A = this chain, B = another copy of it.
């Protein structure tokens, strides 16, 4: 009887300890998670690489090691263009990429990254977060068991590297240019020849004249890639990618296994790293452009008005054609364009009018 009482005391005390632990999910050893994060970029891609490492470290520290994220860059575990499938199938828990890579599977995904002649980062993020964009994005990814988040931008891009001058639309006839996505479709409509090349092929193709032109990212990434050594003209503005949003995707089942504190830690880290990515790109792009100008080997050229005007018209045709082909694209484009219309009235009297005011000569 006494032994029974002691046993009971043991059981109660032990279950007491155990219960106490269950009250605090973070302390429960069974709640430790080891996640794999795959990226769509080669290792050591500037900014993206540091930001991804920071992201993983932040999460491990904030969660007291309850959620560890191991980063694999493109090719280390799977090829960069298989990130979405790997996350969807649960082979990995997270992927860091850009949504337009999955346009073959989900045509509308392109719109969440960027639209030619569309909104820049601030407007596009305002649409995503407070204009209905994110809701549509989540709906489109739901059948694949994937949750998307915007995570920073590379900024308004440059127009690309050219080895021939573009004075009129005739100069685009037959132009062989590495330019993917909607921008590529516009170039095709203009009579050009958009070519898809992997990162590894671009430099050699431009150097050997296999292509006449290529767009890449912006001054920082372009210079690291050596494009300023093999092209004559650096065109602007980047009408085709005015501030692409990067994307963090998470496997739904893995997400469901996280406690609420861990979910919030992941979301806060996405915001922090996204902000770092956008801001660091701005600072480093400004420095890299200055170096390119100082070295004086490349001529900075603005696309002529008549070319921009025609590309803009053709872009509207491309968007209409894509919308006609796919219901998801149509629905997302409508939401995007409605917001863009509202936002552009505001931009005209704030961001744009202000930028112009700084250029007025002091008397």
- A residues with CB within 8 A of B: 2, 6, 9-10, 13-14, 16-17, 20-21, 24-27, 58, 61-64, 117, 120-123, 125-127, 129-131, 155-158, 218-219, 236-239, 242, 260-261, 264-265, 267-269, 271-272, 274-276, 278-280, 282-287, 289-290, 293, 300, 302-303, 305-306, 308-310, 312-313, 316, 342-347, 349-358, 360-363
Given contacts A237-B350, A347-B355, 7 further A-B contacts (CB under 8 A): A10-B13, A126-B279, A126-B282, A126-B286, A237-B357, A290-B345, A312-B360
The CA-CA distance from A200 to B278 in the complex, in Å, is 37
Counting chain B CB atoms within 10 Å of each CB, the highest count among A122, A126, A347 belongs to A122
Inter-chain contact A286/B342, CB cutoff 8 Å: yes
The CA-CA distance from A283 to B346 in the complex, in Å, is 9
Inter-chain contact A62/B268, CB cutoff 8 Å: yes
Inter-chain contact A363/B271, CB cutoff 8 Å: no
**Chain B residues in 8 Å Cβ range of A358:** 117, 312, 344
A-B contact pairs, 17 of them (CB 8 A): A9-B9, A9-B10, A64-B261, A122-B155, A125-B279, A130-B280, A130-B282, A156-B354, A236-B353, A237-B349, A242-B354, A275-B275, A290-B345, A300-B349, A310-B363, A312-B362, A344-B358
**Chain B residues in 8 Å Cβ range of A242:** 354
Inter-chain contact B268/A309, CB cutoff 8 Å: no
Counting chain B CB atoms within 10 Å of each CB, the highest count among A25, A218, A305, A306 belongs to A305
Report A352 CB to chain B, min CB distance, Å: 5
**Chain B residues in 8 Å Cβ range of A312:** 357-358, 360, 362
**Chain B residues in 8 Å Cβ range of A353:** 236-237, 302
Which residue of B9, B121, B310, B346 is within 8 Å of A219 (Cβ)? B346
Report A46 CB to chain B, min CB distance, Å: 13
Beta-carbon nearest neighbor of A300 in chain B = B349
Please tell me how many copies of the chain the complex holds: 2
The CA-CA distance from A46 to B279 in the complex, in Å, is 26
The CA-CA distance from A129 to B282 in the complex, in Å, is 11
Inter-chain contact B282/A122, CB cutoff 8 Å: yes
Report A96 CB to chain B, min CB distance, Å: 17
**Chain B residues in 8 Å Cβ range of A27:** 21, 24, 26-27
Inter-chain contact A62/B309, CB cutoff 8 Å: no
Report A360 CB to chain B, min CB distance, Å: 5
**Chain B residues in 8 Å Cβ range of A351:** 120, 155-156, 355
Question: Which 7 A-B residue pairings sit nearest by Cβ, starting from the closest?
Answer: A130-B283, A271-B272, A286-B346, A237-B354, A237-B353, A156-B350, A268-B268
Which residue of B17, B156, B302, B306 is within 8 Å of A363 (Cβ)? B306
Beta-carbon nearest neighbor of A269 in chain B = B268
Inter-chain contact A349/B158, CB cutoff 8 Å: yes
**Chain B residues in 8 Å Cβ range of A121:** 122
**Chain B residues in 8 Å Cβ range of A238:** 350, 354
